[in-house]
């Protein structure tokens, strides 16, 4: 929760007063910051400060006589719990879009927004008949938030070639050649992960994602400009970046944009604040819509990054084995937050561990029904005997980013048959996606049904995507690829890493999710029209045998499960202590039909 001395229930009135002084009737505030990132620094956590909602996706609309918070299916329950009902309506952003709410509540009003926090695609989604959306030069929340924290200023460090696998010069040349072919003179980069990848730099400006705040301009001749305080760069980094990368203070950004007058400048309408478009057009630049050209090459990991991910998952597998072994003797009676600390402690036994890759979801019993639940000290649940426990967590290592989910039965009694069936159907979906071979050009949308089919057979489903991309010591959620009911045009390519995380959630009782990360790779199989692709598993952690109904697995699925567990033992077993190894051998023993 965002810390502030101003009571939560007094904040909307303060922002309304600031809006009135700015000549608007209301204000729209998204979750993201000036860089439109998923994770934001405390000073930029404006949505949480205003509403109390701490989810990583959403927005709020504040009007004189009405107010609403919007988020997706991952956070609807969290909104109900965190947002004061007497002050805010809570809405599912897909089923009840903000534009519809604005059309009903704000007709005839001037509603402000901060153009440095909003992309053009966001504005398009908010457009409502009769509502004038007004860009503001001052953010009314910043005016009302009198004890707003200072902006972060971490040291900007090099991501060495040994970890990145490709020099910044090579990356800039590749993207510059793309700009030349496209007839564009430059591209503005506002996504901090894009700048981190392109320049081979990292930072610590936001929790959980090792990036430094800053904007960038890449020119079609390969020159780049980085807008970040030069004093923040570690010693020697200027020399590493080289003469073709100029570093300017952020205060010079507008001045440098003016040098693009008369140029064709590429902007991503999804990842770039609309302020850039307005500013560039004002100085006479021609703005050209186009995807951030670093997004796709960043998603396709080179061989060094692939090996780094394998190394990170090896360390994660060791930590997870130690953690799950500890639960075999000490689970019931433990608090959710204490278990997060325990798991982080096991990860920290490796000197390469840096931090979590996201806030761990440690969910006991009914809390598991919230797909993005976050336990808080003093409000967390104690694990009960004969209940379901879900742990979704990940780590940041200098050579890779991890994300894994396991669902466990906390005995001593056997799990109820209904839970075992639902768990096994989730497992069947995970296996189906793990085993699939597919032709080049296949999008994740086409594969998503594989993970849901076994649940659909009995009328069940889950309200989130099945897979997202993962960065290389960058964001745990990375595009452009995904595996989801929502179609995206980006095909899966060799070198991409995606998650595989089907689930099922029974409100008030429990949640189930099984997640591994997978690397897209060429398959040895060739079809009539050429090569195919398949997945290489990266995550190696046992799947809880206590929750498996083996009668629901066909022979191929059972063979996959036993082969997977055998590989877990081979990869992780040699690096754990004797007592952990003994537990691991039992957890990875073949599942037999006569044990059902």
> Which tokens sit at 436?
């699939």
Q: What is the pLDDT of residue 229?
A: 95
> Which tokens sit at 461?
């489903």
Q: CA 356 to CA 555: how far, in whole Å?
A: 37
SS3 391: strand
Q: Do 451 and 483 form a contact (C-beta atoms < 8 A)?
A: yes
Q: Taking CA 493 as the corner, what is the angle to CA 488 and CA 495, rounded to the nearest 5 degrees?
A: 125
* Helix spans in 183-294 (H): 192-199, 237-241, 253-258, 274-282
Q: Taking CA 435 as the corner, what is the angle to CA 433 and CA 440, rounded to the nearest 5 degrees?
A: 80
Q: What is the pLDDT of residue 3?
A: 81
241-277 in b/e burial notation, b at 16+ Cβ within 10 A? beeebebbeeeebeeebeebeebbbbbbbbbbbbbbb
> Which tokens sit at 398?
């200098």
- 3-state SS, one letter per residue, for 8-68: HHHHHHHHHHHHHHCCCCEEEEECCCCCCCCCCCHHHCHHHHHHCCCCCCCEEEECCCCEE
Place of tokens 């770039």: 272
Q: CA 537 to CA 535: how far, in whole Å?
A: 6
Q: What is the pLDDT of residue 38?
A: 85
DSSP class of residue 350 equals S
E-strand stretches of 278-401: 286-289, 355-356, 361-364, 387-393, 395-397, 400-401
Q: Do 491 and 533 form a contact (C-beta atoms < 8 A)?
A: no
Q: CA 376 to CA 525: how far, in whole Å?
A: 48
Complete domains list, the chain, with CATH:
8-144 (3.40.350.10), 157-291 (3.40.350.10), 300-595 (3.90.230.10)
Instruction: List Cβ neighbours of 20 (8 Å cut-off, separation of 6 or more).
Output: none
What phi, psi does 340 have (nearest 5°)?
A: -60, -45
Q: CA 235 to CA 211: how far, in whole Å?
A: 18
> Which tokens sit at 31?
């979750």
SS3 161: helix
* Tens of pLDDT, residue by residue, the chain (596 residues): 578 999 999 999 999 999 999 999 999 999 989 999 888 999 999 999 999 999 888 999 999 999 999 998 778 878 998 999 999 999 999 899 999 999 999 999 999 999 999 999 999 999 999 999 999 999 999 999 999 999 999 999 999 999 999 999 999 999 999 999 999 999 999 999 999 999 999 999 999 999 999 999 999 999 999 999 999 999 999 999 999 999 999 999 999 999 999 999 999 999 999 999 999 999 999 999 999 999 999 999 999 999 999 999 999 999 999 999 999 988 999 999 999 999 999 999 999 999 999 999 999 999 999 888 889 899 899 999 999 999 999 999 999 999 999 999 999 999 999 999 999 999 999 999 999 999 999 999 999 999 999 999 999 999 899 999 999 999 999 999 999 999 999 999 999 999 999 999 999 999 999 999 999 999 999 888 899 999 999 999 999 999 999 999 999 999 999 999 999 999 999 999 999 999 999 999 999 987 44
Q: What is the dihedral of CA 313, 314, 315, 319, to 10 degrees?
A: 90
Q: Do 394 and 403 form a contact (C-beta atoms < 8 A)?
A: yes
Q: What is the dihedral of CA 178, 180, 184, 186, to 10 degrees?
A: 80
Q: Do 570 and 540 form a contact (C-beta atoms < 8 A)?
A: no
Q: CA 51 to CA 349: how far, in whole Å?
A: 38
What phi, psi does 382 have (nearest 5°)?
A: -95, 135
Q: CA 128 to CA 335: how far, in whole Å?
A: 46
Strands in 245-248's sheet, in edge-to-edge order, are: 245-248, 224-227, 215-219, 186-189, 264-267, 286-289
């Amino acid at each position: 929760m965002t810390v502030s001395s101003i009571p939560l229930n007094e904040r909307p009135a303060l922002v309304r007063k600031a809006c009135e002084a700015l000549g608007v009737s209301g204000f729209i505030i998204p979750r993201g910051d000036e860089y439109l990132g998923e994770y934001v620094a405390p000073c930029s956590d404006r949505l949480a400060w205003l509403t109390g909602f701490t989810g990583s996706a959403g927005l709020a609309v504040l009007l004189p006589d009405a107010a609403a918070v919007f988020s997706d299916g991952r956070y609807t329950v969290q909104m109900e719990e965190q947002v004061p009902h007497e002050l805010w309506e809570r809405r599912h952003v897909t089923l009840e879009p903000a534009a519809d709410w604005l059309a009903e509540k704000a007709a005839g009003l001037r509603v402000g927004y901060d153009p440095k926090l909003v992309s053009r695609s966001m504005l398009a989604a908010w457009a409502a008949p009769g509502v004038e959306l007004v860009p503001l030069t001052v953010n009314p929340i910043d005016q009302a938030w009198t004890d707003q924290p200072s902006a972060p200023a971490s040291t900007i460090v090099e991501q060495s070639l040994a970890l990145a696998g490709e020099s910044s010069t090579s990356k800039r040349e590749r993207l510059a050649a793309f700009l030349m072919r496209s007839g564009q003179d430059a591209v503005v980069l506002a996504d901090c992960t894009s700048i981190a990848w392109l320049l081979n730099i990292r930072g610590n400006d936001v929790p959980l994602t090792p990036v430094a705040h800053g904007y960038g301009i890449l020119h079609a001749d390969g020159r780049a400009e980085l807008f970040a305080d030069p004093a923040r760069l570690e010693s020697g980094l200027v020399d590493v970046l080289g003469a073709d990368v100029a570093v300017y203070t952020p205060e010079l950004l507008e001045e440098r944009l003016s040098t693009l007058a008369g140029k064709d400048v590429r902007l991503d309408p999804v990842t770039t604040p609309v302020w850039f478009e307005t500013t560039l057009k004002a100085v006479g630049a021609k703005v050209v819509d186009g995807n951030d050209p670093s997004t796709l090459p960043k998603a396709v990991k080179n061989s060094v990054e692939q090996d780094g991910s394998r190394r990170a998952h090896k360390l994660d597998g060791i930590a997870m084995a130690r953690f799950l072994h500890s639960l075999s003797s000490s689970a019931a009676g433990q608090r959710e937050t204490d278990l997060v600390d325990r798991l982080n402690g096991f990860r920290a036994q490796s000197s390469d561990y840096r931090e979590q890759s996201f806030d761990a979801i440690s969910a006991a019993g009914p809390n598991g029904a919230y797909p993005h639940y976050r336990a808080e000290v003093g409000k967390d649940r104690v694990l009960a005997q004969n209940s379901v426990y879900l742990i979704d967590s990940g780590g940041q290592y200098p050579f890779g980013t991890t994300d894994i989910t396991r669902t466990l039965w906390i005995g001593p009694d056997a799990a109820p048959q209904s839970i075992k069936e639902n768990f096994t159907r989730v497992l069947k979906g995970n296996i189906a996606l793990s085993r699939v071979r597919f032709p080049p050009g296949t999008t994740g949308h086409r594969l998503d049904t594989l993970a849901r089919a076994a649940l659909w057979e009995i009328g069940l489903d889950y309200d989130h995507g099945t897979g997202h991309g993962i960065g290389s010591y960058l964001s745990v959620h990375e595009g452009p690829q995904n595996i989801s009911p929502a179609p995206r045009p980006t095909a899966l390519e060799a070198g991409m890493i995606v998650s595989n995380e089907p689930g099922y959630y029974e409100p008030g009782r429990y949640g189930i999710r099984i997640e591994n990360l997978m690397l897209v790779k060429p398959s040895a199989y060739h079809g009539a029209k050429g090569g195919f692709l398949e997945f290489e598993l990266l995550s190696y952690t046992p799947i809880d045998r206590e929750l498996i109904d083996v009668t629901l697995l066909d022979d191929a699925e059972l063979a996959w499960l036993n082969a997977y567990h055998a590989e877990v033992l081979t990869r992780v077993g040699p690096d754990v202590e004797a007592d952990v190894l003994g537990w691991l051998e039992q957890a990875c023993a073949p599942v037999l039909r006569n044990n059902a």
